C-alpha cells in the first residue's frame, strides 16, 4: 500500500485515538483543578493532622512516577482484593487512568495554588478585614483573582505537560493516540511495519499545545490591566 | 465621654514584650498623634486596636462599645465585639488598595458586600447601589480624585493611591480613623498632599489617631501627642507641652529630628 493510500486509514485511526487523548485531558483538568484547590487549603490548614496527611500525600504522589501510580490504581483492586473495580473494557481503563491523572495533577496544582495564595501580600487580607469583610469575601473578592494572575505562567506550564503526559495511559492499554499510532507497527487494517504513524502523532501534540499556548497568552493579556 | 478608651493593653510575641501596659483616652473630634522611634510599639498598638493583632491583656472601647476585652473568650460575645469594630477605620502605610479594582470599585467594594447582607437588598437593589456609588464619589471628591474614578491603582501615583485608601476608609463612616505611618512610603512631595488631606479631615472634626514620623505635621494638626518608647507611653500632652518637654528621652528623640 502506498503512503497516499495509507494516509486516510491512519488519519482516521489517529483521530479516534486523539479524541480519547483530549477526553482524558479534559476530564483530568475538570477533576484536578478544583481538587488541587482543596488540597492546597489542606496543606495550609492550621489543623496539624490534616496538614501532615496532605504533606505525605503530596510527597508520595510527586515522588513516584505517574506510570507506576496508574498501574497500581488499575491493577491493585483486582490483584489484591480480587475485585477488579474498573472492569476490563476501554471505559474501565479510561476511568482508572483519569483517576490516576486527577490525583497526580491535583497534587502538583495544589502546590502552585499554595504559592499563588501565599504570594498575595498579607496587607490585602488585612485591608479586607479592617473594611469589615468576612474571610470568604476576602478570598473570593480580593485574593482569588490576584492568585489566578500569579499562577497563570506555572499553570500553563503544568497543563501543557499534561497534554503530553496523557500518553502514559498507553501503559494500561488505553486507546489514546500513541496506542493508535503504534498499532500500525504491529499491523492493523492492512498496514503493518509502519513507524511513520507513530511519528506523525507528534503533530497532533504540537497543534494541541500550540492552541493552549495561544489561549493562555490571551488569558494573561486579559488580566494585564492590573499589577500584583 | 471619651470616644476611645484604651486600658492596660499589653502584647507579647513569644517572650518579647512589645507593649507593656498602654492606657489612654481620646475625646470626639480630637486628633492624637503617636510618635516614637521604630520598634517602640506604635504600629503594634494600632494593630491591636484594629484587631489585626490580638492584645495579650487589656480592654478597648470605642464610642462606649467594647471592641476588645481580654477577659472575654465566649465565641458569641467575641462576634459581638467584632461588629463594634465597624466604628473604626484604618489607613495603612502601604495603602493596600485592591489592584484588580478601579478607584471607584476599591471604595465601593466593602459597602456593596455589606449591603448584600441587608434584608431589603433584593427589593431595593438599584437604589442601594446608587446610594453606595454616590457615597463613594462624595468621599473621592473630598480627597480630590473625582477625575480618577476609573483608573486602576497601578495607574495612580503613591500619593493618589493613599488618598484612595483614605476615601475607602472614610466611606464606611468610621467614628475614629487610624493612620499607620500614612506617608512613610511616599517621597516628600507626595507626603504633602496626604498631610493636606488629613488636615482637612481635622478641620471637619474627624476623630483621628495618627502614627507618624512627621514632627512638624504632628505639632500642627494634633490636639494631643503621645510619645512611646520601648512599649510604654513615656510622655503625653498638647503639642506645646510635648515639644518643650524636659523629659530626657523626649528631648533626645526630638534632637535626632533636628539634625
Note whether A226 contacts B100, CB cutoff 8 Å.
yes
Q: Within a domain: residue A165?
A: yes
The DSSP output letter for A188 is B
Q: Give pLDDT tens digits for B130-188.
A: 999 999 999 999 999 999 999 999 999 999 999 999 999 999 999 999 999 999 888 88
B97–A127 CB contact, under 8 Å: yes
Residue A201: inside a domain: yes
Chain A contact for B173 (CB, 8 A cutoff): no
Q: Do A131 and B169 touch (CB under 8 A)?
A: yes
Please state the three-class secondary structure of chain B as a single string. CCCEEEEEEEEEECCEEEEEEEEEEECCCCEEEEECCCCCCHHHHHHHHHCCCCCCEEEEEECCEEEEECCCCCHHHHHHHHHHHHHEEEECCCCCCCCCCCHHHHHHHHHHHHHHCCCCCCCCHHHHHHHHHHHHHHHHHHCCCCCCCCCCHHHCCHHHHHHHHHHHHHHCCCCEEEEECCCCCCCHHHHHHHHHHHHHHHHCCCEEEEECCCHHHHHHHCCEEEEEECCEEEEEECHHHHHCCCCHHHHHHHHHHHC
**Termini Cα distance of chain A:** 59
Residue to mutate among A131, A223, A225, with most B CBs inside 10 A, is A131
CATH number, domain at A212? 1.10.3720.10
Higher pLDDT, A191 or B92: B92
- pLDDT tens for B34-85 read 999 888 999 999 999 999 999 999 999 998 888 898 888 888 888 888 888 8
**Nearest-Cα residue of chain B relative to residue A133:** B110
Partner residue facing A123 (CB), from B94, B114, B152: B94
CA separation (Å) from B63 to A8, B22, B48, B205? 82, 19, 17, 15
Residue to mutate among B89, B101, B113, with most A CBs inside 10 A, is B113
> Which residue of chain A is at minimal alpha-carbon distance from B112?
A133
Closest-CA distance, B233 to chain A, in angstroms, reads 25
Query: Looking at chain A, which residue has its C-alpha nearest residue B83?
Result: A132
Q: Is residue A228 part of a domain?
A: no
Domain count, chain A: 1
**Interstrand relation of B65-69 and B57-62 (parallel, antiparallel or unpaired):** antiparallel
Task: Say whether residue B136 is in contact with chain A using an 8 A CB cutoff.
Answer: no
Contact B73, A200 (CB under 8 A): no
CA neighbor of A68 nearest in space, from A94, A108, A104, A28: A104
Domain that holds residue A19: 3-222
Which residue carries 523626649 as its cell? B250
Which residues of chain B have a CB within 8 Å of the CB of A226? 99-100, 152-154
List the strands of the sheet with B232-237, edge to edge: B88-91, B176-180, B207-211, B31-35, B224-229, B232-237
CATH number of B4-258: 3.40.50.300
Phi, psi of B206 (to 5 degrees): -70, 135
Which residue from A127, A142, A146 is facing B92, i.e. has the nearest CB? A127
Cell (9 digits) for B2: 471619651
Domain ranges, ordered by start, for chain B? 4-258
Report the residue from B90, B94, B109 with minimal CB separation from A141. Answer: B109
Residue at A227 is within a domain: no
Among B52, B97, B99, beta carbon nearest to A130:
B52
pLDDT at B258 over 80: no
Give the C-alpha separation, A86 to B10, whole Å.
62
Asked whether the predicted pLDDT for residue B25 surpasses 80, the reply is: yes
Chain A nearest-CA residue for B82: A132
Chain B contact for A136, CB < 8 A? no
Q: Please judge whether B172 and A131 are an interchain contact, meaning their C-beta atoms are less than 8 angstroms apart.
A: yes
Compute the mean pLDDT over every residue in chain B, rounded to the nearest whole number. 91
Rounded-to-10 torsion of CA A86, A92, A93, A95: -90
CA B162 to chain centre: 12
Contact A123/B at CB under 8 A = yes
**Cβ separation B86–A123 shorter than 8 A:** no
User: Span B17-30, mean pLDDT?
Assistant: 93
Pairing state of beta strands B224-229 and B207-211? Answer: unpaired
Q: What is the pLDDT of residue B74?
A: 84
CB contact under 8 A, A124 and B96: yes
Residue A200 lies in a domain: yes
pLDDT per residue as tens, chain A (228 positions):
788 888 999 999 999 999 999 999 999 999 999 999 999 999 999 999 999 999 999 999 999 999 999 999 999 988 888 888 888 788 899 999 999 999 999 999 999 999 999 999 999 999 999 999 999 999 999 999 999 999 999 999 999 999 999 999 999 989 999 999 999 998 888 888 899 999 999 999 999 999 999 999 999 999 999 988
Does residue B259 register a pLDDT over 70? Answer: no
Question: B-chain residues within 8 Å CB-CB of A145?
Answer: 100
* pLDDT tens readout for residues B194-229: 999 999 999 999 999 999 988 888 998 999 999 999
Find chain A residues with C-beta within 8 A of B96's C-beta.
121, 123-124, 126-127
A141 in contact with B, Cβ within 8 Å? yes
Cell triple for residue B5? 478608651
What per-residue confidence (pLDDT) applies to A32? 97
Amino acid at each position: 500500500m502506498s503512503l497516499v493510500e495509507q494516509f486516510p486509514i491512519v488519519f482516521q485511526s489517529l483521530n479516534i485515538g486523539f479524541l480519547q487523548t483530549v477526553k482524558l485531558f479534559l476530564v483530568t483538568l475538570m477533576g484536578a483543578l478544583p481538587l488541587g484547590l482543596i488540597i492546597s487549603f489542606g496543606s495550609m490548614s492550621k489543623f496539624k493532622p490534616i496538614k501532615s496527611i496532605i504533606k505525605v500525600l503530596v510527597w508520595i504522589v510527586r515522588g513516584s512516577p505517574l506510570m507506576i501510580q496508574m498501574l497500581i490504581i488499575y491493577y491493585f483492586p483486582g490483584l489484591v482484593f480480587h475485585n477488579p473495580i474498573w472492569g476490563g473494557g476501554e471505559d474501565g481503563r479510561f476511568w482508572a487512568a483519569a483517576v490516576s491523572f486527577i490525583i497526580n495533577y491535583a497534587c502538583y496544582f495544589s502546590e502552585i495554588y499554595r504559592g499563588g495564595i501565599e504570594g498575595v501580600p498579607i496587607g490585602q487580607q488585612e485591608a479586607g478585614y479592617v473594611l469589615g469583610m468576612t474571610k470568604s469575601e476576602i478570598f473570593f473578592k480580593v485574593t482569588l483573582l490576584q492568585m489566578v494572575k500569579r499562577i497563570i505562567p506555572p499553570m500553563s506550564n503544568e497543563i501543557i505537560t499534561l497534554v503530553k503526559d496523557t500518553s502514559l495511559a498507553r501503559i494500561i492499554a488505553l486507546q489514546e493516540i500513541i496506542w493508535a499510532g503504534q498499532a500500525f507497527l504491529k499491523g492493523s487494517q492492512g498496514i503493518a511495519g509502519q513507524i511513520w504513524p507513530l511519528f506523525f502523532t507528534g503533530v497532533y501534540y504540537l497543534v494541541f499545545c500550540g492552541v493552549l499556548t495561544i489561549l493562555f497568552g490571551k488569558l494573561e493579556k486579559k488580566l494585564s490591566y492590573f499589577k500584583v | 465621654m471619651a470616644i476611645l478608651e484604651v486600658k492596660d493593653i499589653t502584647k507579647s510575641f513569644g517572650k518579647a514584650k512589645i507593649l507593656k501596659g498602654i492606657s489612654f483616652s481620646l475625646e470626639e473630634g480630637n486628633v492624637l498623634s503617636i510618635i516614637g522611634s521604630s520598634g517602640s510599639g506604635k504600629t503594634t498598638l494600632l494593630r491591636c486596636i484594629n484587631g489585626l493583632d490580638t492584645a495579650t491583656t487589656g480592654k478597648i472601647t470605642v464610642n462606649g462599645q467594647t471592641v476588645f476585652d481580654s477577659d472575654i473568650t465566649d465565641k458569641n460575645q467575641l462576634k459581638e465585639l467584632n461588629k463594634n469594630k465597624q466604628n473604626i477605620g484604618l489607613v495603612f502605610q502601604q495603602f493596600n488598595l485592591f489592584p484588580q479594582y478601579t478607584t471607584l470599585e476599591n471604595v465601593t467594594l466593602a459597602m456593596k458586600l455589606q449591603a448584600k447582607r441587608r434584608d431589603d437588598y433584593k427589593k431595593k437593589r438599584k437604589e442601594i447601589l446608587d446610594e453606595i456609588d454616590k457615597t463613594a464619589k462624595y468621599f473621592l471628591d473630598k480627597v480630590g480624585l473625582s477625575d480618577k474614578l476609573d483608573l486602576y491603582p497601578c495607574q495612580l501615583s503613591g500619593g493618589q493611591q493613599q488618598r484612595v485608601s483614605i476615601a475607602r476608609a472614610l466611606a464606611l463612616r468610621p467614628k475614629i480613623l487610624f493612620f499607620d505611618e500614612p506617608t512613610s512610603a511616599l517621597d516628600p512631595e507626595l507626603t504633602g498632599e496626604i498631610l493636606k488631606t488629613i488636615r482637612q479631615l481635622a478641620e471637619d472634626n474627624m476623630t483621628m489617631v495618627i502614627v507618624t514620623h512627621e514632627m512638624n505635621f504632628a505639632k500642627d494638626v494634633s490636639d494631643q501627642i503621645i510619645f512611646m518608647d520601648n512599649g510604654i507611653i513615656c510622655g503625653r500632652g498638647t503639642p506645646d507641652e510635648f515639644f518643650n518637654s524636659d523629659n530626657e528621652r523626649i528631648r533626645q528623640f526630638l534632637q535626632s529630628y533636628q539634625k
